[in-house]
Amino acid sequence: MPHIILLGDSIFDNAAYVAGGSDVVRQLRERLPKGWRATLNAVDGAATDGIERQLERLPQDASHLVVSIGGNDALRHAGLLDQEARSVAEALDRISGAREQFEQDYRTMLDGVQRRDLPTALCTIYDARFPDPQRRRLAATALTTFNDVITRAAFSRGLPVIDLRLVCDDDADFANPIEPSVRGGAKIASAIAALIAEHDFSGRRTEVFAR
């Protein structure tokens, strides 16, 4: 029977943010067919360099890996949004530097994941719900460069993708600006369950799941 392992950060490890409500992994278990299992290896606050430690805790019967990581890598560069720039080119150059570092880190992380030789799915980074509309707008624009890294990696390796920008598309999906609420977690769990049930991993082709 399939045993799905969730790797990543607080997108999956969101129990601390739902005030005793159902977290993502609990909601995923409720949506899986009888006999299927789901285990949470994701850790709140993790970045790409923390996935290897999560992989070390894989159960022997793991059958599928779902990875949602990158938001905390992006937060490490959040200060770029507050820096002054003399030109658009200067601002883009700084963002490009952050993107290149993330690309290197993400590729290294994904190499480690794929060495486990298990069916793997990736998740994009959803748009943060900052209260300030201007900061929300700037963050969403900057995150497109990080999400480009994720989708390019998926396309080049033939991995399916859950586009969390489309899954969590309403403010009610968020417990705070960067963590999913019970409602958001339910939508994420439904998307994971649909991907595992419907995607043909043997075909090694990318398919995007958005609900």
- What pTM did the predictor assign? 0.91
Q: How confident is the model at residue 96 (pLDDT cuts 50, 70, 90)?
A: low
pLDDT at 141: 80
pLDDT at 112: 96
More confident residue, 54 or 1: 54
Mean pLDDT of 83-101: 64
* CA contacts within 13 A on the Cβ side of 9: 21
**What is 3-209's CATH superfamily?**
SGNH hydrolase (3.40.50.1110)
**117-172 tens-digit pLDDT:** 999 999 999 988 888 888 888 878 888 889 999 999 999 999 999 999 999 999 99
Residue 76 has pLDDT above 80, yes or no: no
Mean pLDDT of the chain: 89
Cα separation values, 90 from 47, 83, 85, 94, 206, Å: 27, 11, 6, 6, 34
Residue 94 has pLDDT above 80, yes or no: no
Kind of pairing, strands 64-68 and 208-209? unpaired
Q: How confident is the model at residue 93 (pLDDT cuts 50, 70, 90)?
A: low
More confident residue, 178 or 78: 178
Length of the chain counted residue by residue: 211
Residue 163 CB coordination number (10 Å): 21
Q: What are the domain boundaries of the chain?
A: 3-209
**24-69 tens-digit pLDDT:** 999 999 999 999 999 999 999 999 999 999 999 999 999 999 999 9
